[in-house]
């Protein structure tokens, strides 16, 4: 099968980890007789430097014409003082909007070889395996008005938390569909005791559930969910929630596994072109040192194969290779017990490629 993949390396360790993911994808293609064509585009700070803006038109075109987008990370101290409209993060927000990527999937799974490095008790994190589905294009981050004003000689700031029924409906459907191919359990997280948008959220999720009665649905308030994620993370299968709550809960959940360097994500929408990226940022503190953990980016590439291209076997082969190298003791510095024992980004990547065979 032939697939065109847009590669947007971005900033900091972004280029290092996307290079690793490409290496793995090239080898998977070779082993299965697929043809993957990679088209590179600028995004974030590097795009600001070279083209004057965080999402050049050319990048948008390459992305929209692809079968899937592999992204590294954007941002860094060099661009922190730029105004909002010309910041690296704006590139990400814009590409999500442009491709209508409204559903963000973040699987949280503990690797048995790494359980001892979790900050939590072994018996709590063993066998954690759930996915957070976060609504990505609505809510507080995008609602208008968003402004500052002077009232009675004092500055006040306003953000708007707005959700339309249609936005809730489509994300709820994603969650129920995901649950069907998992363990069939959805927890919808809201704050329906105080927020009107959450009451609409809850009613709409209940309505959509009527068509998915084979899936078990429960509702949980976000503050309770924050506790349960730590207290009994194995109780979850699919968590669906709105933009802000999802942002916070997914970062919280990421700590269950021990390192940001392991966690993949997928953002999907109505067009069929998904965007796949590691959860971590551009890690300016280790950029250019060949120390970044490439597994989150490699695992994101596996999500692209599975969710974007329907290549489940190939995706599982990559996941199995990751488990194998971890079981064999390969550790980049973020997950190594002693920094002396750490392998480099390229050594880790080569080990994964070898484990594919």
| Count of residues that interact with ligand NAI, criterion CB under 6 A | 23
Does 19 sit near ligand NAI (CB under 6 A)?
no
The yes or no reply on residue 53 touching ligand NAI (CB under 6 A) is: no
Residue closer to ligand NAI by CB (options 92, 208) is 92
Picked from ligand NAI, Mg ion, none, the partner binding residue 334 (CB below 5 to 8 A depending on kind) is ligand NAI
Q: Name which of 281 and 308 has its Cβ closer to ligand NAI.
A: 281
247 is in an annotated binding site: yes
Shortest Cβ 328–ligand NAI spacing (Å)? 19
- Which of 197, 243, 282, 300 is in the footprint of ligand NAI by CB under 6 A? 282
62 scored as a contact of ligand NAI (CB under 6 A): no
**75, 138, 233, 308: which one binds ligand NAI (CB under 6 A):** 75
281 is in an annotated binding site: yes
Shorter beta-carbon distance to ligand NAI: residue 17 or 303? 17
- Say how many residues touch Mg ion, by CB under 5 A: 2
Q: Which residues contact 281 (CB under 8 A, 6 or more apart)?
A: 12, 73, 74, 75
- Token pair 């088209």 is found at 39
Question: Using CB distances below 5 to 8 A depending on partner kind, what does residue 261 bind out of Mg ion, ligand NAI, none?
Answer: ligand NAI
Number of H helices, E strands in the chain: 12, 12
Q: Which residues are catalytic?
A: 141, 191, 223, 247, 251
**Using the rule CB under 6 A, is 261 a contact of ligand NAI?**
yes
Q: Answer yes or no: are the C-beta atoms of 146 and 249 closer than 8 Å.
A: no
Instruction: Show contacts of 27-35: CB within 8 Å, 24+ apart.
Output: 27/353, 27/356, 28/305, 28/314, 28/317, 28/318, 28/356, 31/317, 31/356, 31/357, 32/311, 32/313, 32/314, 34/1, 34/2, 34/3, 34/311, 34/314, 35/1, 35/2, 35/3
CA dihedral 238, 67, 299, 38 (to 10 degrees): -170
Chain contacts with ligand NAI (rule: CB under 6 A): 13, 17, 73-76, 89, 92, 260-261, 277, 280-286, 292-293, 296, 332, 334
């Amino acid at each position: 099968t032939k697939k065109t993949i847009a590669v947007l390396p971005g900033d900091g360790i972004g280029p290092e980890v996307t290079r690793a993911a490409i290496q793995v994808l090239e080898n998977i293609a070779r082993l299965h007789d697929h043809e993957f064509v990679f088209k590179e585009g600028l995004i974030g700070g590097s795009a600001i430097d070279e083209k004057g803006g965080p999402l050049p038109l050319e990048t948008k075109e390459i992305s929209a014409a692809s079968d899937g987008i592999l992204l590294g990370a954007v941002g860094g101290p060099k661009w922190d003082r730029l105004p909002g409209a010309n910041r690296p993060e704006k590139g990400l927000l814009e590409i999500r909007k442009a491709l209508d990527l409204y559903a963000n999937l973040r699987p949280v799974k503990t690797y048995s070889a790494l359980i001892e490095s979790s900050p939590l008790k072994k018996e709590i994190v063993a066998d954690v395996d759930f996915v957070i589905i976060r609504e990505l294009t609505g809510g507080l981050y995008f609602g208008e008005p968003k402004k500052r004003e002077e009232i009675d000689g004092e500055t006040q700031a306003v953000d708007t938390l707005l959700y339309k029924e249609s936005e809730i409906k489509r994300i709820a459907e994603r969650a129920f569909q995901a649950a069907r191919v998992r363990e069939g359990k959805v927890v919808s997280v809201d704050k329906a005791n105080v927020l009107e948008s959450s009451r609409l959220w809850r009613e709409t999720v209940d309505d959509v559930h009527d068509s998915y009665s084979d899936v078990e649905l429960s509702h949980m308030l976000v503050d309770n969910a924050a506790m349960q994620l730590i207290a009994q993370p194995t109780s979850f299968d699919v968590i669906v929630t709105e933009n802000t709550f999802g942002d916070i809960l997914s970062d919280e959940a990421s700590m269950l596994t021990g390192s940001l360097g392991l966690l993949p994500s997928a953002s999907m929408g109505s067009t069929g072109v998904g965007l796949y990226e590691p959860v971590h940022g551009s890690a300016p503190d280790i950029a250019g040192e060949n120390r970044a953990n490439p597994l989150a980016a490699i695992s994101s590439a596996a999500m692209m194969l599975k969710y974007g291209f329907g290549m489940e076997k190939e995706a599982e082969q990559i996941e199995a290779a990751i488990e194998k190298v971890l079981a064999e003791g390969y550790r980049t510095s973020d997950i190594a017990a002693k920094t002396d024992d750490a392998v480099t980004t390229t050594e880790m990547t080569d080990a994964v490629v070898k484990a594919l065979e």
